[in-house]
Amino acid sequence: MDFRDALSDVAAPYQELLKASAQVCQEPSASFGGDEQVLQLIWQMQAFEGAALVLVDGTPVEVIEPGRWNHADGPDFCDAVLLIGGELRRGNVEIHVRPADWDQHQHTNDPAYGGIILHVTWFANPPAKTLPKRVPHLALERVLSSYADVQAALQRLEGQHTGRAHPCLNRFQQEPLALDRIVVAAGYHRLLAKTYRFVEQAEAANTAQVFYEGLMTTMGYRRNTEPFKRLAKEVPLKVLEPFSSKTRFAVLARIAGLLKEDQRELWDLWWESGLQPSLQPYHWDFTGLRPQNHPLKRLAGCLGVLHHLPTLLETPLADLPKAISKAAELLRTELGYKTALIGKQRAATVTTNLFVPYRLALGTLPTSQLSVLPSEDISMPMRDTWMRLTGSEDGLPTDGLRQQGLLQIYADFCHNPNLMCETCPLGRGSEPLTSES
């Protein structure tokens, strides 16, 4: 027997390992087309196609419980149970696309991330600089064959989840125009519901005050919406009206317990106003807060918007987010803030959730303008709904109206615990829509 034949036989098991390692030890894949939310979905559904999970340092990982998906602030999955190198661990899992996202989000200094037992990323390199040594790192590109395979696995699992492909998917593959009509109609429905809520509140209070409370609440970083709401109620618009925007800022900051005595000029402005701080302290949550979300910056942005409100109410919808961001800058230089006070995405949210209902309620917004509603960042519910309806991420709506429609379908159908796909009306070709509305 030729030595080649002889050695090939005995070397074959090792050559298989080399082949397998060539598959898993690839460079960061340029073909990764997902984002953090897709990775979260992969983790939640454990869409690993039977691949053995191994940390970047070679330690095997077994997932006993992936944990509870957390859609609020803090770690992405809570109360996971993992077997890492044979050791049972319970705690939270954080997921990012790149290891360095951990550094960028400054999780190490955030107590909310103290209980992390696994950092999951798609890419393996470059490693995070600040990830504590005790936190193991799992890089999915090292254990999964390709992103395309992962997407296919996700779709298969979604199908299994409901026992079969979603009825709506079968239907809309045949009727794409009906799908668009329904999504657009759902978008309109959502805006209408927001306007009804606004009108209801305005019946109980002054319309301008309702807008002001809404603005303050929308400005609050999620965990600070309550103190912002309280502040707007305790210091109503009427009380602020006689003052300049800078004095308004000083008053609100002082009453909210956010102003320091060494901020002399602002402190004096507050003192001259004669308004007293609340006896009940405000509870602001600074945990994991990014600098641009600091309540003082949000407050300053808010007062800029209020100052320019008459002009903003006349601004065409398509130009409104830009105009809101610009208006928010009113006090920025004077207060010494270096970065924009209201970014593009926040301005789009304020437009959709506040200006649109307010202007619809006032009757000053032609509904024809709603077709140019600004788009927001694609969120998990939008993506999830679109994938259910169409079977892929292709063609995810980039306009605000259809995005609102997806959110509505998610809330009313796909995420409705009382509705089964089997009985979902969207899966049947009986939608009564006959026009583009």
| Residues engaged in binding ligand SF4 (CB under 6 A) | 166-168, 388, 409, 413-414, 419, 421, 424, 426-427
Strand partners of residue 82: 63, 89
Element (H, E) at 314: none
Classify strands 116-121 and 87-96 as parallel, antiparallel or unpaired: parallel
Classify strands 116-121 and 137-139 as parallel, antiparallel or unpaired: parallel
CB closer to ligand SF4 out of 249 and 410? 410
Q: How far apart are CA 414 and CA 249, in angstroms?
A: 43
Distance in Å, CB of 390 to ligand SF4, minimum: 10
Q: How far apart are CA 65 and CA 78, in angstroms?
A: 10
Q: Give the amino acid at 405.
A: G
Strand partners of residue 77: 69, 93
Distance in Å, CB of 359 to ligand SF4, minimum: 31
Which among 121, 129, 117 is positioned nearest to 96, based on CA atoms?
121
Distance in Å, CB of 414 to ligand SF4, minimum: 3
CB closer to ligand SF4 out of 100 and 406? 406
Strand partners of residue 119: 94, 137
Distance in Å, CB of 392 to ligand SF4, minimum: 14
Distance in Å, CB of 393 to ligand SF4, minimum: 15
CB 328 within 8 A of CB 301: yes
Distance in Å, CB of 193 to ligand SF4, minimum: 18
Distance in Å, CB of 402 to ligand SF4, minimum: 15
Which among 171, 175, 186, 177 is positioned nearest to 402, based on CA atoms?
186
CB closer to ligand SF4 out of 90 and 428? 428
Distance in Å, CB of 221 to ligand SF4, minimum: 31
CB closer to ligand SF4 out of 304 and 427? 427
Rg (CA), the chain: 26
CB closer to ligand SF4 out of 153 and 409? 409
CB closer to ligand SF4 out of 165 and 324? 165
CB 90 within 8 A of CB 117: yes
Helix residue ranges per DSSP H, 274-399: 295-307, 309-312, 320-327, 332-335, 344-350, 356-362, 380-390
End-to-end CA, the chain: 78
CB closer to ligand SF4 out of 168 and 356? 168
Distance in Å, CB of 21 to ligand SF4, minimum: 39
- Extract the tokens encoding 135: 């936190």
Q: Indicate the SS3 state at residue 174.
A: helix
Q: Indicate the SS3 state at residue 83.
A: strand
CB closer to ligand SF4 out of 354 and 424? 424
Distance in Å, CB of 157 to ligand SF4, minimum: 14
CB closer to ligand SF4 out of 367 and 392? 392
CB 323 within 8 A of CB 309: no
Distance in Å, CB of 151 to ligand SF4, minimum: 17
Element (H, E) at 144: none
CB closer to ligand SF4 out of 116 and 165? 165
Cβ partners under 8 Å of residue 87, min gap 6: none
**For the chain, what is the total number of helices (H) and then of strands (E)?**
19, 7
Cβ partners under 8 Å of residue 324, min gap 6: 305, 312, 342, 347, 350, 351, 355
Neighbours of 255 (CB within 10 A): 19
CB closer to ligand SF4 out of 136 and 427? 427
